[in-house]
Amino acid sequence: MEGMPEEKECDKPHQNFSKFQKEVGTWGNETFTKAHPDSIIAHLRREVTELQNSHRPEESADCLILLLHHAHRVGYDLLEEAKKKFEIIKKRKWGEPDKEGVVEHIKK
């Protein structure tokens, strides 16, 4: 279309993710009418425990769906926030693994 910026191929995944976030969030709001940000996070904690116990892909999906619902409910673009945070963590210095194998960034 004349006068419109050309859509780049790299923009499409973000558009698709944002569209999926809106779909999940709208469904979550309509289905779980009493849900609020804290209840969504409480549910997420339970799903993370299930993921930790099973390492099953569908448990990862449950966690992602809850994060998408939370983002929609609170009003932020999860992918955009993840991209910004990733740029920050790429610049950090990292310590040694703890007894659980967790490596945290070195705090200044």
CB 73 within 8 A of CB 28: yes
**pLDDT at position 1 over 60:** no
Q: What is the pLDDT of residue 8?
A: 58
- When pLDDT is averaged across residues 67-94 and rounded to a whole number, the result is 97
Domain residue spans of the chain: 19-77
CB 63 within 8 A of CB 40: no
**pLDDT at position 7 over 60:** no
- How far, in Å, CA of 104 to CA of 107, rounded? 9
- How far, in Å, CA of 14 to CA of 7, rounded? 12
- How far, in Å, CA of 60 to CA of 67, rounded? 11
pTM, two decimals, is 0.85
Q: What is the pLDDT of residue 6?
A: 61
